[in-house]
Structures are given as C-alpha cells and as structure tokens.
C-alpha cells in the first residue's frame, strides 16, 4: 500500500468516527417564516420560495462575538447568517423583531426561561414563557408603504415610509435623537417632497404631531407584542413584563 492510499484509508476511518460521534446532532432545518408584513414590500431573492430561517450554530456565535468587540450589531449579524431569500437590510424593523423571535425559537425551542425580579416584593424567580403564545399582529392589507395619514394638529396629510434595517444607523450613537432624523422617513407633506421643506416643517411641528409620526414609524400595533403576563410565585402579584429582546435573549435558555 502506498503512502497516499494509506492516508486516504486513515482519513476515511477518521471521517466515519466523526460521523458516528455526531449521529444525533440535529440537522440544520430551514423553517419557512412569513413575517407580519407578509412580504408585501420585499423583493425576495427567489420569488418562488419563502423566507427561511435556520437555528444558530457555534460558528455563528463566534462570528457575532468577534463583531461585538468591534462595535458591530450582533443581532443583525446573527439574523443575517441564519435568514435566507432576502437581503437583511431590506427588513422593516418590526419584521426584524419577529424574525429574531423565530430565530430564538428555532434554536432553543418555544420555552424561554429567565430570572424575573418582582416589582412588588423584589423576590427573584425563575420563570418560563412559551414563545408560541406571543401575540403576533399582521399588517392589514389596506396599509401601504409609504402610507398616508392626517396629522392631528396641523390637519395636513403626511406620507411616511417604514424604517428598515439599513436605517438603524440613524437611531444609534450620535443619531439617537430620532427627531433630527424624522425627515428621512417622510415621503411628502401635503404633496411637498423637498427635504428642506420637510425638515423645516418638522422643526416647527406640535409635539402631538411628532409623537403621531413616531408611532406610525414603529408600526403601532403590528408585529410582535413583547409583553407577557407574569405572576410572582412569592406574593402573587400579577403584571405585564416585556421579553428581553436583546443579545441575552439568545444566551438565556
């Protein structure tokens, strides 16, 4: 037997050993997911196929951890690696939250266990939530993007577009003041689409109009409702709490 054939035989034995050790490792199953917008405003890579999502791997975690040290958006990176058939930057933000929920569910299953401190008695409790019970509200069919509504104080019609993942830069760091970036999401006011006119009008707007615009940007009652019911096992105090849709959401199990 030549050295080359001996190496081939040895490598085959090693490969078989690896496969035997990993025989019960769950396969990466791509799960089709339909977001609250029902893909109405997306251009899919393959229009004949759905958007799919797969569970996280250790390799995904390593890459996300490396990005975290350099100031990268860990959640977007994780989602980008696990989602297929759409450009991650095109996702509307309330759809992104939905996909994050589904990514967590695909990776760890529907049960989410975490520690909760009661707001009344300050007792710490380990609780479990069923993610399949999280309320999801689809965007009504008559809603468009951009969509138009009337401002409550100015009584003028305004048309705005929903923020996408690529727009998150306008809500971070020095851009955290959303008010200074509202004009970027306004398609027109009373038919005027000049950015200068729009930005100057926004500066003069009544606070009620500003709050209405921000509410509309967030999608109001569409997408996931992160509020879940909690009842303290110590004092029986019951109230609503929000699921921690942050990096910890993917490391708490």
- Give per-residue pLDDT as tens, 96-140: 999 999 998 988 888 888 888 888 888 888 888 888 888 899 999
Among the ranges given (39-43, 141-145, 208-212, 230-234), the one the predictor scored with the smallest mean pLDDT: 230-234
Based on the fold, state whether residues 110 and 61 are members of the same structural domain: yes
pLDDT of residue 138: 94
Containing domain of residue 12, as a range?
3-137+224-250
Based on the fold, state whether residues 232 and 128 are members of the same structural domain: yes
C-alpha 225/C-alpha 218 separation (Å) is: 12
Q: Which two tokens stand for residue 118?
A: 């009661």
- Give per-residue pLDDT as tens, 190-202: 999 999 999 999 9
**Binning pLDDT at 50, 70 and 90, where does residue 149 land?**
very high
pLDDT of residue 128: 81
Give me the residues paired with residue 83 across strands.
53
pLDDT of residue 25: 61
Sign of the C-alpha dihedral computed for residues 214, 217, 223 and 226 taken in this order:
negative
Based on the fold, state whether residues 9 and 132 are members of the same structural domain: yes
Q: What's the average model confidence in pLDDT over 227-239?
A: 83
Based on the fold, state whether residues 158 and 208 are members of the same structural domain: yes
Q: Is the pLDDT of residue 247 over 70?
A: no
C-alpha 40/C-alpha 138 separation (Å) is: 11
Q: Is the pLDDT of residue 251 over 80?
A: no
Max mean pLDDT range (29-38, 51-60, 85-94, 225-234): 85-94
pTM: 0.81
Running DSSP on this structure, what letter comes out for residue 119?
A: T
Based on the fold, state whether residues 234 and 214 are members of the same structural domain: no
Based on the fold, state whether residues 106 and 169 are members of the same structural domain: no
pLDDT of residue 73: 79
Based on the fold, state whether residues 49 and 94 are members of the same structural domain: yes
> How many independent structural domains does the chain possess?
2
């Amino acid at each position: 037997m030549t050295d080359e054939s001996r190496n081939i035989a040895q490598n085959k034995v090693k490969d078989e050993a690896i496969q035997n050790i990993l025989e019960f490792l769950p396969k990466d199953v791509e799960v089709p997911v339909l977001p609250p917008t029902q893909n109405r405003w997306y251009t899919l890579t393959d229009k004949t196929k759905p958007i799919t999502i797969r569970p996280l791997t250790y390799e995904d975690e390593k890459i996300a951890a490396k990005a975290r040290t350099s100031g990268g958006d860990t959640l977007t990176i994780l989602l980008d690696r696990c989602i297929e058939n759409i450009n991650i930057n095109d996702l509307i933000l309330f759809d992104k939250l939905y996909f994050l929920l589904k990514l967590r569910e695909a990776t760890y299953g529907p049960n989410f266990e975490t520690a909760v401190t009661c707001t009344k008695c300050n007792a710490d409790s380990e609780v479990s939530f069923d993610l399949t019970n999280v309320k999801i509200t689809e965007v009504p069919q008559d809603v468009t993007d951009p969509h138009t509504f009337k401002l409550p104080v100015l009584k003028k019609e305004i048309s705005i577009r929903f923020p996408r993942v690529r727009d998150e830069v306008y809500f971070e760091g020095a851009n955290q003041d959303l008010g200074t970036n509202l004009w970027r999401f306004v398609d027109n006011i009373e038919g005027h689409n000049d950015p200068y006119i729009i930005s100057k009008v926004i500066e003069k707007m009544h606070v009620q109009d500003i709050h209405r615009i921000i509410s509309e940007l967030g999608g109001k009652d569409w997408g996931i409702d992160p509020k879940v019911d909690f009842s303290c096992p110590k004092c029986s105090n019951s109230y609503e709490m929000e699921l921690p849709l942050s990096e910890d959401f993917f490391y708490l199990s």
